[in-house]
Amino acid sequence: MLSYQEALQIILDTVTPLPPVELPLGQAVGRVAAMTVTARWNCPPADNSAMDGYAVRAADAGRHVAVMGEIPAGRSVDVECAAGHSFEIMTGAPCPRGTDAVVPKEYVRRGGDRVLLPKQIVPGQHIAPQGSECRRGKAVLAPGATITPLAVAVMASFGKSSVQATPKPGVGIISTGAELVPVGQEPKAAEIRDSNGPMLLSLARERGIEQPKQRHAGDSLEAILAALTELTDCDIVLLTGGVSVGSYDLVPQALHAFGADVVFHRVRQKPGKPLLFATKGPQLFFGLPGNPLASHFCFHRYVTPAIRKTGGKNPAREVFQGQLTEPVPPKPVRTYFVAARAQRDELANTWKILAMPGVSSADIFGACRANCYAQIPPGREKIPAGETVGFSWISSPPSIS
Ligand code: AMP
Ligand code: MG
């Protein structure tokens, strides 16, 4: 049986980024650029005013000068400003020839068509020179860079209405189990509501997947095969339940019949021992355990990096270090990912980890209080309080409080 490090490495070695597509600018945020975008022209395109005020010649400081006209933003001007003259100018408007400074409105005294300029005017003040923000030809976005809202603004300013980027993977989710009924349905005796389906859908959405598809399959080969067939357009298919050793755990068999290759099945970890990973061409399949917390953990630890790498992102999930506040019973041969609550200890400048070993693989209720999984290595006799362990956030780090 593989260790969790080996299992994760196999997934990362198998997964490759999706081929880039041309995305409209409005849909590109958060994606990873697959092209270089270069500035098509200088920004600003001409010397322009950074303030509402008067475009002047600095040499006229301290004098009364004539106001020869008004230049609002958006009007192109082809005038020369002679000595003793000025133009009222708005932020973003091009400065007329001959002017070398802008005096903000608040610093002049205006009377009719004349203004009194301040005694000190520094040449160049409040003028954004042509190309001072970005020179034509400069690379403003490189392949591999994440497209942020500011990067979108940069591309918009250069008239780039679409960009080559790695798309988000399509994700399909199949809840297997004859005992499951949908959320809106009343369970009969021996039935339970499907809670993994909505949980995995939410996890996928939290990772930026827009339209995850959901199916339910009973515990028969035909039903699972039918659901798999309906999700052939998904890059990543998550199956939950039916992946263990019970007589009705048919996911491995169904994947085999579907033509997928099982890359590994079972990992030396708790929770999530039955985890399965399979591929069929570029399509990836994760057989997640039916136990809800185990399913949650396997998504967190294995599916998230696969989604990130498929989408062209760095797959690394950061592992932080913290000190256990209570001893934790270790597992002899399995890495134990115990639901835990990390809290900042400001004085000691560390994270304190309150592990919840009492929370079982089925206990989503207890785990709701957790904000991370602490990682307890196998083979130790006892893990005392104060021991430093790795932990990874379940979602983004909470604000320090
Ligand atoms: P299995 O791996 O299919 O044997 O399922 C293990 C346990 O998880 C059983 O108690 C199932 O009833 C439960 N389970 C499986 N699938 C789900 C699900 N989608 N939602 C909630 N519980 C589930
Ligand atoms: Mg089942």
Q: Cα(281)–Cα(128) distance, rounded to whole angstroms? A: 54
**Residue 225 · residue 258 · CB < 8 Å:** yes
**Residue 311, ligand 1, Cβ within 6 A:** no
**Residue 217 · residue 224 · CB < 8 Å:** yes
**Residue 196, ligand 1, Cβ within 6 A:** yes
The pLDDT of residue 350 is above 90: yes
pLDDT tens, residue by residue, 306-343: 999 999 998 877 899 999 999 998 888 999 999 999 99
Cα-based torsion angle of the residue sequence 124, 125, 130, 134 in order, rounded to the nearest 10 degrees: 120
**Residue 175, ligand 1, Cβ within 6 A:** yes
DSSP state of 399: P
**Residue 272, ligand 1, Cβ within 6 A:** no
Give the pLDDT mean for 40-69. 96
pLDDT tens, residue by residue, 27-45: 999 999 999 999 999 999 9
Cα(311) to centroid(ligand 1), Å: 29
DSSP-derived pairing of the beta strands 269-270 and 114-116? unpaired
DSSP 373-387: EEEE-TT-S-B-TT-
DSSP 151-187: HHHHHHHTT--EEEEEPPPPEEEEEE-TTEE-TTS--
pLDDT tens, residue by residue, 94-120: 999 999 999 999 999 999 999 999 999
